[in-house]
Amino acid sequence: MSRSILCSFILLIAFALPGICQDPPDVPATPKAYATYAELFDAFDAKRQVLITKMDRLREKETVKPEEMKAVEDEMRTLDAAYADALDVYIQGHPKADDLMPARFELAVALSRNEDKLEKAITAADDFLKNHADSELVADVRFIKAQTLFRLPGREKDALAALDEFIEKHADRQEADACRMMRVRTLLFLDRVEAAKKSLDALLKSDRAKEDPEAEEFLQVQRDNLDWVDRKLPDFSLADLKGTVHKTAEYEGKPTLLLIWDTNSGACLGELPYVQDAYKRFGEKMNFLSISVNEAKPALEQWLDRNPDAVKFPTVWVDRDEENSIVKKLDVSLIPFLILVGSDSKIYRYDVRSDDMLRYAATLTGE
């Protein structure tokens, strides 16, 4: 269930299977010294083109094993890391070169693709903005900086400032819409719900929203979701597949994650790994409840028997057509659906994005 209108900027290049065509040359442990940025770029672009060719071949295959995909993703990450190291060596070793502008730009981009080097990406972006304030790439670099800060837990205030700067200075750029939505999400990370509501209200009144019915509908859904914040979790009493009855009162005193899903939904199955990651990290500090809306309870039981490790916390089955069910009370119409509930049994976030869930859970548990 993906309902984000965020656009992305040069994050991850296509990956491919190793072994389908020629292997790229080995990446040296020590960055090679290059005479010019063009020479450096061409050397790494040749390696990258090999991987892109592999991806083209991969797309022609009907099935791909996950471990094969992971192997080539690791290969590309290794190449990106080496590229960033080589760029850094070049920039430091050629302080007066005429081609530092594209080198600094590429360094910021390459670092922003590496989750372990996001802080360095911000430093690289600031270095570019300091040295190339008149470049036509300034807007792109400001977007890289804002987007990178947005991805860093603990840097929300800095992210908000960077997003506001981009929106103010580049309001007509396509990326401004992405920044506006990241801004709303950042306000929610900061627990500034009322400010997020005002931002969405302003977006709904904008000419851009009125001219795009699909965008207007999306924004209205996001705004309606915020009206659920601080509502009391509806009462329920449900027996899980082992016969244990779970009641609303049981979930007081600890934050709770509710997962509403169906084993026949590919989107739901794609959500499970994110929920399991949350369970592994926060299982001692949070309650977890799986609420299945499978058409038939036996189908759910059979699927869980075949996949015993898929859901490690209690699962209850709810008749999707029952008028007074917890699913109806929560007005859930799309699945998968995630709801975070505070230790006070009030809804903290409604219809949570899987990629935001861990940050919210960390806030709720005080990590």
Same domain, 214 and 276: no
CATH number at residue 89: 1.25.40.10
Distance (Å, rounded) from C-alpha 170 to C-alpha 142? Answer: 9
Q: pLDDT (tens digit, 9 = 90+) per residue, 75-127?
A: 988 999 999 999 999 999 999 999 999 999 999 999 999 999 999 999 999 99
Apex 164 CA angle, 159 and 169, nearest 5: 130
pLDDT at residue 178, rounded to an integer: 95
> Among 8-12, 184-188, 211-215, 330-334, which stretch is predicted with the lowest mean pLDDT?
8-12
> Among 19-28, 187-196, 197-206, 294-303, which stretch is predicted with the lowest mean pLDDT?
19-28
Same domain, 124 and 72: yes
pLDDT band at residue 33 using 50, 70 and 90 as cut-offs: confident
Q: Which of 224, 245, 267 is the last residue of a domain?
A: 224
Residue 127 placed within a domain: yes
pLDDT band at residue 367 using 50, 70 and 90 as cut-offs: confident
Same domain, 61 and 200: yes
Q: Which of 193, 224, 255 is the last residue of a domain?
A: 224
Same domain, 219 and 83: yes
pLDDT at residue 216, rounded to an integer: 95
Is the pLDDT at 173 greater than 50? The verdict is: yes
Residue 284 placed within a domain: yes
pLDDT at residue 2, rounded to an integer: 34
pLDDT at residue 78, rounded to an integer: 92
Same domain, 180 and 148: yes
Residue 168 placed within a domain: yes
Same domain, 276 and 247: yes
Same domain, 73 and 180: yes
Is the pLDDT at 68 greater than 80? The verdict is: no
Residue 48 placed within a domain: yes
Distance (Å, rounded) from C-alpha 184 to C-alpha 188? Answer: 6
Is the pLDDT at 31 greater than 70? The verdict is: no
- Percentage of the chain with pLDDT > 70? 92
Is the pLDDT at 3 greater than 90? The verdict is: no
| The pair of three-digit structure tokens given for residue 81, joined into one six-digit string | 């890391």
Whole-model pTM: value is 0.84
Q: pLDDT (tens digit, 9 = 90+) per residue, 207-224?
A: 989 999 999 999 999 999
Same domain, 289 and 360: yes
pLDDT at residue 59, rounded to an integer: 76
Q: Which of 165, 197, 224 is the last residue of a domain?
A: 224
Same domain, 105 and 189: yes
CATH number at residue 341: 3.40.30.10
- Return the sign of the alpha-carbon dihedral for residues 304, 309, 311, 315: positive
The domain total for the chain is 2
At a CB cut-off of 8 Å and minimum separation 6, what does 288 contact? 256, 257, 259, 275, 278, 279, 313, 314
pLDDT at residue 247, rounded to an integer: 92
Same domain, 165 and 55: yes
**φ, ψ dihedrals at 116, nearest 5°:** -85, -5
- Percentage of the chain with pLDDT > 90? 78
pLDDT at residue 11, rounded to an integer: 32
pLDDT band at residue 18 using 50, 70 and 90 as cut-offs: very low
Domain that holds residue 345: 237-365
Residue 229 placed within a domain: no
Same domain, 157 and 292: no
Distance (Å, rounded) from C-alpha 15 to C-alpha 108? Answer: 20
Is the pLDDT at 1 greater than 50? The verdict is: no
For 13, other C-beta atoms within 10 Å of its C-beta total 14
Q: pLDDT (tens digit, 9 = 90+) per residue, 246-282?
A: 999 989 999 999 999 999 999 999 999 999 999 999 9
Residue 114 placed within a domain: yes
Residue-averaged pLDDT of the chain: 89
Residue 230 placed within a domain: no
Do the beta carbons of residue 16 and residue 54 sit within 8 Å? yes
Residue 231 placed within a domain: no
Same domain, 157 and 305: no
